[in-house]
Structure 1
Amino acid sequence: MDALPVRQLDVNAGSGLHWSGDSKKLHFTLGDELFTANAEGKDKATSQKIGFEQASDKPAGKIALTGARIVTMKGDEVIEGGTVVVDGNRIVAVGQDIAIPLDAKRIDASGKTIVPGFIDAHWHGAMNDGGLIPQQSWINLASLAFGVTTLHDPSNHSASIFTQSEMQRAGLVLGPRIYSTGTILYGAKTPYTSNVNSLDDALTHLNRQKAEGAISVKSYQQPRRDQRQQILEAARRTGMMVVPEGGSLFQMNMGMVVDGHTTVEHALPLAEVWDDVKQLWSQTAVGYTPTLNVGYGGLDGEHYWYARTEVWKHPLLSRYVPRSVLEPRAVRRETAPEEDFNVLRVARTATALSRAGVNTSIGAHGQREGLGAHWEMWMFVLGGMTPMEALRTASINPARNFGFDKDLGSIEPGKLADLVVIDGNPLTDIRQSDRIVQVMQNGRLFDAMTMNQIAPVAKVRKPLFFEGADGQTMPIDGEALESGHLGD
């Protein structure tokens, strides 16, 4: 290497490497810092902060949703004929016969059910196109229209997803709250390989991801247990979470449980487990996100719902997903007998683990923009959960997994105002969960069928590229789409 001298510029890596105009200095960035190194190599690289502060979006005004059945997720509490009062972006009162401020905008929710905003614990999706962040994303609109007010993405392009996350938080784009690992820590030989052979290596990777905006990292296919443990120790030192995937290897999954990861992502590769697994796992704080839509071991959840329902006709989904995207995937459907869908066995096992004390969450994996979150709940019920248990997997459970439960996951005074208004009762029929009429995210109330803002002030969104000038999608087979829930 004497003929090609190499010098390390920074222990935590960087991006945007470029020379100064006179070629005497090298510049690169990491997070909100600009680093500069002299070409002669005499001095250590220096840095300066180049970031800025932006106020988080927070609406002004009061809203009162009245007369609803409120499933608070505070234990098994259900308030009939209740009211939720919101001031700004926080819930200030919940209950029956509560005082409603005179200056609050009243929204009659009689006959409807209000549940906490859904939290998708394992979501992947496009955040940019060719490096460009869209001003309005139909994927975000669809997700939000289906009540997904918060998502956690355990693998995405760091620059794209953290840019989108900050823009959403600032109110510049409309969509769910966005949290992510950013780029995964891949142990296999890929363009994203992250070599971990010491604690210092692990700290380098986690410091880099944290600087970019990550709250967690995905430890993915790190082959040795000591490598995974080094990532865990680095996470403890940096205050981050670790959400690994076991690659359909049962022994690796159990090692992840014993070592104390934040969650185990994706389904166990065994359709059924015995008491030893239940007893072991329930003694830890490790959560479980089985991602039933892509469940391992056989036919999966996404294809179950293609086979059993006319997905392309869903009145809400077809409002936001272009026909050219939705119909090729959903119209020509393969089917199989019920017993061939292994995902139902996976759901039964997840139910058993949940009842043993394992904190279990939905994770739609980005399948079918928003509707996939409901499929997850429906499959949990097919696996034996009660509708209340299934609704927990989409609200308070993921909030607890990620430490969001001080602000999210239930309808209680002091928490952020993320709510879903359902025209039906999912407690008696979980398949009514997708009859969404309104969604509140961060104190702003939207009409689900249009994603126009209703309150605290009315605001019409701009049309999507495939909508007409009036904001309406082209009808299927020349017939107007009717509102309602997706039938069998």
Structure 2
Amino acid sequence: MTIRWCAAVGVGVLMAALGAHGQLASAPQPAAWDVTTPRGTVREIDFLTDQGTWMSLDISPDGRWIIFDLLGHIYRVPSAGGDAELLTRDSGIALNFHPRYSPDGRQIAFVSDRAGQNNLWVMSADGAGPRSVFRDDTVCVVEPVWLADGSAIVVRRQQTCHRGNWLSAGLWAYPVAGGGARELVKESEQASGWPSVSTDGASLFYHHAVCPGYHAGRNDLLRGCMQIRRLDLRSGETEDITYGEAFTSQWSRDSNGSAIAPSISPDGQWLAFARRIPDGTTSFKGHRYGPRNALWLRHLQTGEERVVMDPIETDLAHGLPYAMHLLPTYAWTRDGKSIVISQGGRIRRLCVADGSVETIPFSARVRRTISESTYVARRLPTGPVSSRFVRWPATSPDGSTVVFEAFGRLWSSRGGRSKPLLDDPRAGLLELAPAWSPDGVWIAFATWDETSGGHLWRVRADASSTPERLTSAAGEYLNPAWSADGGTIVFVRGTGATRRGKTWSDNQYYDIVSMPAAGGVVSTLARIQDQQLGQVVRPSVAGGRVYFLNQRRRERAASTLESVLMAGGDRREHLRFRSSDDAVVSPDGARVAYVEGALIQIKVLGGKVPAAVPGPDSAGTLSASVSPEGGLFPHWRDSRRLEFASGATLYTHDVAEGRGSRVPLTAQLPRPTGRGKIAFTNARVLTMGTSGVLDRATVIVDDDRISCVGTCDGGGASRVIDLSGATMMPGIIDTHAHRHVLHQGVVPPHNFEAAVYLAYGITSTLDPAATSLNMFPAAEAVEAGLAVGPRTFGTAEPLYSTTTTYGTAIDSPETADREVRRRVSWGAISLKDFLVSTRAQRQWIAEAARRHDVFLTGEGGSLEHDLSMIMDGHSGWEHDLTYTPIYEDAAKFFGQARAIYSITLMTDGPGPLAEELFWQQEDVWRDPKQREWLPWSMFLPHTRTRWLRPETDYPYPLLAQGLADIVAHGGYGTVGGHGDQHGLGTHWEIWMLARAAGNARALEFATGHGAHALGFDADLGAVAAGRVADLIVLDRDPLTDIRNTTSLRFVMKGGVLYEAQTLDQIWPVSRPFGPRWWKNETMLSADDRPTTYWDKAR
């Protein structure tokens, strides 16, 4: 192929610039752990490609070579095109990206995580002799560029490499020889990045965000939210090169449309940059998306601007906080005649003088040996339902009996045998938070009913008498604690949020109250504001004082251990915890046990008040962890023995001897399933399996399984339902349903967070970032038939790089193993790596997941991050792969790896949030099913106010196409509504996927692929003999119109049939759903009342 070269524009001069100073502390490296080595039963990825996704590139100073990154490797190709040579071949499964030639062309700077973190490296121009410029696990960098004299490299640096927020990045210069680094642009200049150094060494150009409150999915570059600045490297002064931001809509006429990705020409006269064309779109495989990007030139002396290349790739500015790189890096040739840039999956050469573009062909071999996947095939459990997450365990003073809560009931365990404490529990009444009296005669506990409220009770420990109600007024009572003399009970009282159609989480405060142990007047001792997350406060009594933890979440402050006198007053603050939500003081007042990192810690009270307690991952901590398997619900049996639960095990720690013991706690209920034979006849059946579509078919369900599909003998069926004109298909599976955020562990039997999904035909859900206190009790209630809802699976809390209330920082393989083992023991079938910082940490988690037979997925991020997770063994990732579009190279890589792509099109991505599109297209707040199954505040306020944009502003068709292409190469795609519009949002996801994949394939994603993602291929996801009877019946065929997925008539889960609108059970027995306590008919009213309404007596 002939490459045209352009007339010269001018050549600048080189000069030395910046000295560097200062020192950076490097975090210790994991001992004997090579992050470049694949682990387990390895897999091979191998293919040739002539396309590349999001390739950052550079051209050598002599113009002979072009270097580019491709799927985490760095290649070079002759500038005229040809076969690409791999330069980073000996780096195993490491990432290598953002290559840049040194000014003399002898070296290449690049970013690599081969030592565990995205640090700065250099190698010879032929790939030889790679070495790190610095190593620091706490610092990650991108976008390297050399200073003019080659002495240092400028990078965009993030100091705390977790959770992916690049708004906090600054620009730093690192000497190539090693040593100190210098901060050039502070992190306070929001989202500073894309450094470009002039050839005279005098100037550094960069872009930064100028609009306040930058939030992914809610900002528009057309407002002028990104602008370019110049830093004088000699004086340190900065100046705005572009400007014109519009802070409010009425001043939008001041916007210049933003300017990003600056690159200064060799002669210093022209600045190349990217800007969107407001009504311009670009198309990919038939999908239009805009506003499209163009490459512009500005003459720095005259201010003239002109478009020089249109289109270029789509920028990621809408997802700015989580975007590692807004565009692929491009480069000027040394003579200033041309710019080389990747676009459309190809390498292009732009002639600056006339705007002509040539394509430089390349062929690259992608070959990786990657780690074994953590994917696990499993079967749905059968037999009795056993609780794996017991709560509030308490042992009698004599040590003979343990009382605990499971399935919403109190259980008594003695000698290894458990039974319900109360012989005649009332249906729907939750029994919670038992506490023994000091003499062991009485057990105090709380109850709660979703419609009438709850009370505080006491019952004789031998259950020889009827429970005695202690409170006179119904309310929200929890967590009783006895005084040392047994004469007083201290407990917690809510504000009555549940009597207003809300949940325990909506209580704006809790009162610490007390009353005589035999009943009487309730006295208020203290008020605690804003306890809306985590545990409801649990008071403890010691030395004439009542202790309690104040979470102070609204203040975003540390939790504080406080106390008042038994009669109230004299409020004191004792300790401050970094992230605890539960703390109890020993009866002698000498120690406090608290939960942090899902570990039980003990600290001696006393000394400076208030004292700050360092976290469990802090050096020099004065606390001792006594829960090697994790723990919740700490409780002092006496001043010497501390008890706590983890999963279905009671642990006891003797503080005097420093030793512990454990006892399993068992609670079982029969597993409810459909009983009997039911036949559905004359149905159009979308089997989602090998049988395809069957017309006028019969489906027989025996108990909870499908026994026949197609031409079947319905004789012997106890009930026959004629489905003429209707369509049957498998139940929908939502693999990203965040629906366990409310209730603070007091989960009602009629739970709208569960019921709304089943009402929309969603028969299984996975919550990949769930609050354990809510999710596991809710899941067990559904599994035991105590609540109506979909099959409920989850991860527990995600794994983070830092310690949180319910997770410990992953600082070693042993810690990773403990964190994985604990979540699995609590009932998790999957785990979530939430942007864990280093490759070593992620690999430790993956290794533990393989060991304990549990899925590991991850929070999706950049293409590079998602590649690293798949190579480490993650079974897949969640959220959009925001580099849009993805080309054949990425689709083949993830497809060959059999990756599971759990896309969430409504949430963050490269453009506006797609949920807005449905708000503007439909009257969502009038949707009958939303009004029936959600509190008005969860759907009405935000859907009545509409964003109105051109539909081409929403990138979901391109994102859906990326998923479809990955699946076409062997991967899997699933549907996940993210809990953003409960129930209905899952259908929106299906509809958006159909835009690229077609109706049939979108339904496969929602059924069979979802079953695969959960590991239940053999049980779920198809209408086939032997599969579990999770089915939905639609009035209209979704193959004809995908929006017919919401035309639901019936929903069947496990052989139990429900009417879809009401969730009244109609087989095998008739049973109404029950109270919808969350409904506020006044707030749902849509009538008109004239001003003369009160003129008549009413």
Deviation at 1:206, TM superposition (A): 0.7
**For residue 482 of structure 1, what is the aligned residue in structure 2?**
none
d(CA) in 2 for partners of 1:474 and 1:20?
A: 49
**For residue 428 of structure 1, what is the aligned residue in structure 2?**
1040
Instruction: Say whether 1:175 aligns with 2:789.
Output: yes
Alignment of 1:253-332 (within 5 A): 253-332=866-945
Conserved in 1, the CA contact under 8 Å of 2:895 and 2:968? Answer: no
**For residue 673 of structure 2, what is the aligned residue in structure 1?**
58
Conserved in 2, the CA contact under 8 Å of 1:399 and 1:405? Answer: yes
- Supply the AA of the counterpart residue of 1:137: N
Conserved in 1, the CA contact under 8 Å of 2:698 and 2:709? Answer: yes
TM-score, normalised on structure 2?
0.42
CA distances 1:341-388 after superposition (whole Å, capped 9, x unpaired): 122321222222222221000011012111111111100112x21111
Alignment of 1:86-235 (within 5 A): 86-96=701-711, 98-126=712-740, 128-188=742-802, 190-192=804-806, 194-235=808-849
Secondary structure of residue in 2 paired with 1:251: helix
d(CA) in 2 for partners of 1:284 and 1:38?
A: 49
Deviation at 1:220, TM superposition (A): 0.7
- Supply the AA of the counterpart residue of 1:310: D
Relative to structure 2, which stretch is displaced further, 203-212 or 304-313?
304-313
Structure 1 residues 193, 351: closer, same or farther in 2, change over 3 A?
same
Deviation at 1:447, TM superposition (A): 0.7
Instruction: Say whether 1:35 aligns with 2:651.
Output: yes
Deviation at 1:75, TM superposition (A): 3.3
Conserved in 2, the CA contact under 8 Å of 1:417 and 1:443? Answer: yes
CA distances 1:219-262 after superposition (whole Å, capped 9, x unpaired): 1121111111110000011111111113x322111111222212
Structure 1 residues 445, 391: closer, same or farther in 2, change over 3 A?
same
Deviation at 1:275, TM superposition (A): 1.8
**For residue 1020 of structure 2, what is the aligned residue in structure 1?**
408
Conserved in 2, the CA contact under 8 Å of 1:466 and 1:473? Answer: no
Structure 1 residues 476, 87: closer, same or farther in 2, change over 3 A?
farther
- List runs of 5+ in structure 2 lacking aligned partners: 1-602, 608-620, 1089-1098
d(CA) in 2 for partners of 1:70 and 1:333?
A: 38
- Aligned-CA RMSD value: 2.2
Secondary structure of residue in 2 paired with 1:292: coil
Conserved in 1, the CA contact under 8 Å of 2:896 and 2:969? Answer: no
d(CA) in 2 for partners of 1:374 and 1:454?
A: 25
Conserved in 2, the CA contact under 8 Å of 1:16 and 1:28? Answer: yes
Secondary structure of residue in 1 paired with 2:997: coil
d(CA) in 1 for partners of 2:1087 and 2:899?
A: 48
Conserved in 2, the CA contact under 8 Å of 1:319 and 1:473? Answer: no
**For residue 342 of structure 2, what is the aligned residue in structure 1?**
none
Structure 1 residues 36, 147: closer, same or farther in 2, change over 3 A?
same
Deviation at 1:191, TM superposition (A): 4.2
Conserved in 2, the CA contact under 8 Å of 1:300 and 1:343? Answer: no
- List runs of 5+ in structure 1 lacking aligned partners: 479-488
Deviation at 1:174, TM superposition (A): 0.3
Deviation at 1:82, TM superposition (A): 0.7
**For residue 226 of structure 2, what is the aligned residue in structure 1?**
none
Structure 1 residues 476, 67: closer, same or farther in 2, change over 3 A?
farther
d(CA) in 2 for partners of 1:477 and 1:194?
A: 53
Structure 1 residues 307, 420: closer, same or farther in 2, change over 3 A?
same
d(CA) in 1 for partners of 2:1084 and 2:784?
A: 32
**For residue 460 of structure 1, what is the aligned residue in structure 2?**
1072
Identity of aligned residues (%): 32
Conserved in 2, the CA contact under 8 Å of 1:301 and 1:379? Answer: no
CA distances 1:68-118 after superposition (whole Å, capped 9, x unpaired): 10011113611100111111111111112x101324211111101101001
Conserved in 2, the CA contact under 8 Å of 1:71 and 1:79? Answer: yes
**For residue 12 of structure 1, what is the aligned residue in structure 2?**
629
Structure 1 residues 76, 253: closer, same or farther in 2, change over 3 A?
farther
d(CA) in 2 for partners of 1:42 and 1:466?
A: 48
Structure 1 residues 109, 84: closer, same or farther in 2, change over 3 A?
same
d(CA) in 2 for partners of 1:304 and 1:76?
A: 36
Conserved in 2, the CA contact under 8 Å of 1:185 and 1:192? Answer: no
CA distances 1:386-438 after superposition (whole Å, capped 9, x unpaired): 11100001100011122111111111111111001011010111111111111
d(CA) in 1 for partners of 2:905 and 2:1077?
A: 32
Deviation at 1:323, TM superposition (A): 3.0
Secondary structure of residue in 2 paired with 1:293: coil
Secondary structure of residue in 1 paired with 2:682: strand
- Supply the AA of the counterpart residue of 1:62: K
Relative to structure 2, which stretch is displaced further, 52-61 or 205-214?
52-61
d(CA) in 1 for partners of 2:651 and 2:775?
A: 23
Secondary structure of residue in 2 paired with 1:420: strand
Structure whose residues are more often strand by fraction: 2
Structure 1 residues 174, 270: closer, same or farther in 2, change over 3 A?
same
Structure 1 residues 241, 271: closer, same or farther in 2, change over 3 A?
same
Deviation at 1:38, TM superposition (A): 1.3
Secondary structure of residue in 2 paired with 1:294: coil
d(CA) in 1 for partners of 2:806 and 2:664?
A: 27
d(CA) in 1 for partners of 2:1009 and 2:804?
A: 33
Q: From 24, 27, 30, give the equivalent of 2:640.
A: 24
d(CA) in 2 for partners of 1:251 and 1:445?
A: 46
Conserved in 1, the CA contact under 8 Å of 2:1049 and 2:1060? Answer: yes
**For residue 392 of structure 1, what is the aligned residue in structure 2?**
1004
Instruction: Say whether 1:360 aligns with 2:977.
Output: no
d(CA) in 2 for partners of 1:10 and 1:191?
A: 14
- Supply the AA of the counterpart residue of 1:153: D
d(CA) in 1 for partners of 2:997 and 2:928?
A: 27
Relative to structure 2, which stretch is displaced further, 291-300 or 218-227?
291-300
Deviation at 1:184, TM superposition (A): 1.1
CA distances 1:38-79 after superposition (whole Å, capped 9, x unpaired): 112343x11010122222111312111111100111136111
- Supply the AA of the counterpart residue of 1:31: G
**For residue 186 of structure 2, what is the aligned residue in structure 1?**
none
d(CA) in 2 for partners of 1:142 and 1:467?
A: 13
**For residue 267 of structure 2, what is the aligned residue in structure 1?**
none
- Supply the AA of the counterpart residue of 1:338: E
Secondary structure of residue in 2 paired with 1:60: coil
- Supply the AA of the counterpart residue of 2:1019: D
Structure 1 residues 476, 109: closer, same or farther in 2, change over 3 A?
farther
Instruction: Say whether 1:447 aligns with 2:1042.
Output: no
**For residue 67 of structure 1, what is the aligned residue in structure 2?**
682
Structure 1 residues 255, 204: closer, same or farther in 2, change over 3 A?
same
d(CA) in 2 for partners of 1:193 and 1:152?
A: 20
**For residue 48 of structure 1, what is the aligned residue in structure 2?**
663
Secondary structure of residue in 2 paired with 1:83: strand
TM-score, normalised on structure 1?
0.92
Structure 1 residues 10, 287: closer, same or farther in 2, change over 3 A?
same
Q: From 61, 69, 81, give the equivalent of 2:696.
A: 81
**For residue 379 of structure 1, what is the aligned residue in structure 2?**
992
Deviation at 1:214, TM superposition (A): 0.8
**For residue 483 of structure 1, what is the aligned residue in structure 2?**
none
- Supply the AA of the counterpart residue of 1:252: H
Deviation at 1:192, TM superposition (A): 4.7
Q: How many residues align?
A: 471
